């Protein structure tokens, strides 16, 4: 199985990072996880869960997760010699995106992403901001031209979602598909299907 770095920042949308970590672990992949201080606060506020309890549950249930403190620049994921199959930041704040586009690697999350770019490994950013300013758009374009995938969690409705969970899972499935990981959560468009005959 593959090894991925997953980061969560303080942007709204912590559920995307949490569900992505859980799906990667469930599918047998190894996850190195890093979260910013504000990311932790937003996660606990939005999801109404205890961060430490969630990490412990992941460790006990799947075993293949390594928590990396964001201030630990001695972590293995700060080095290009530590092989990974890619990194995902979900959600990615505009502050983190700006630091990354400027090469300011002053914490582990940004350093790990910086390493991912320089080693030419897949990097997926899931930005959560609206509306987007010209500064945001310029930063995204600059990173996209470096082969960074910019993947906003824009909801799709062609699969006729009935719940918020289905909308979230569709975005998680799209992230996984960009990593060439099979997911039942993501349904590609196959043309119009008669109502009542969705597959």
Rounded to 5 degrees, what are φ and ψ at 67? -85, 125
Rounded to 5 degrees, what are φ and ψ at 79? -115, 135
For 7-11, 53-57, 87-91, 159-163, which range has the lowest pLDDT when averaged over its residues?
159-163
Arithmetic mean of pLDDT, 174-184: 91
CA distances, 39 to each of 44, 90, 129 (Å)? 9, 10, 15
The percentage of the chain sitting over the pLDDT mark of 70, rounded to a whole number, equals 92
Report the chain's mean pLDDT, rounded to a whole number.
Answer: 93
Q: Is the pLDDT of residue 199 over 50?
A: no
Arithmetic mean of pLDDT, 50-78: 97
pLDDT band at 44 (very low <50, low <70, confident <90, very high): very high
Q: Which residue has the tokens 């964001």?
A: 70
Report all structural domains of the chain as residue ranges with CATH numbers, in order of start: 3-178 (3.40.50.1950)
Tens of pLDDT, residue by residue over 122-134, are 999 999 999 999 9
Q: Give the helix/strand (H/E) hosting 65.
A: strand 65-67
Q: Which residue has the tokens 């959600």?
A: 91
Q: Rounded to the nearest 5 degrees, what angle is found at the Cα of 181, between the Cα atoms of 155 and 35?
A: 70
Q: Is the pLDDT of residue 82 over 60?
A: yes
Q: Is the pLDDT of residue 79 over 80?
A: yes
For the chain, give the number of residues.
199
Q: Residue 6's beta-bridge partner residues?
A: 33, 88
Closest to 127 in 3D by CA, of 138, 118, 136, 117: 136
Q: Residue 150's beta-bridge partner residues?
A: 125
């Amino acid at each position: 199985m593959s090894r991925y770095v997953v980061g969560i920042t303080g942007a709204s949308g912590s559920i995307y990072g949490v569900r992505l970590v859980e799906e990667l672990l469930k599918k047998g992949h190894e996850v190195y996880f890093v979260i910013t201080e504000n990311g932790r606060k937003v996660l606990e506020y939005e999801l109404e869960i205890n961060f430490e309890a969630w990490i412990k549950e992941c460790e006990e249930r799947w075993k293949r997760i390594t928590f990396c403190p964001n201030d630990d620049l001695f972590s293995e994921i700060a080095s290009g010699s530590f092989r990974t199959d890619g990194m995902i930041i979900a959600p990615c704040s505009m502050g983190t995106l700006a630091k990354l586009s400027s090469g300011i690697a002053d914490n582990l999350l940004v350093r790990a992403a910086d390493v991912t770019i320089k080693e030419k490994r897949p990097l997926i950013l899931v930005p959560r901001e609206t509306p987007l300013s010209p500064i945001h758009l310029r930063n995204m374009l600059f990173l996209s031209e470096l082969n960074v995938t910019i993947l906003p969690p824009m909801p799709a409705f062609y699969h006729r979602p009935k719940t918020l969970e289905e909308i979230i899972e569709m975005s998680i499935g799209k992230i996984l598909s960009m990593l060439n990981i099979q997911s039942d959560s993501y349904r590609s468009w196959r043309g119009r299907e008669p109502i009542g005959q969705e597959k």
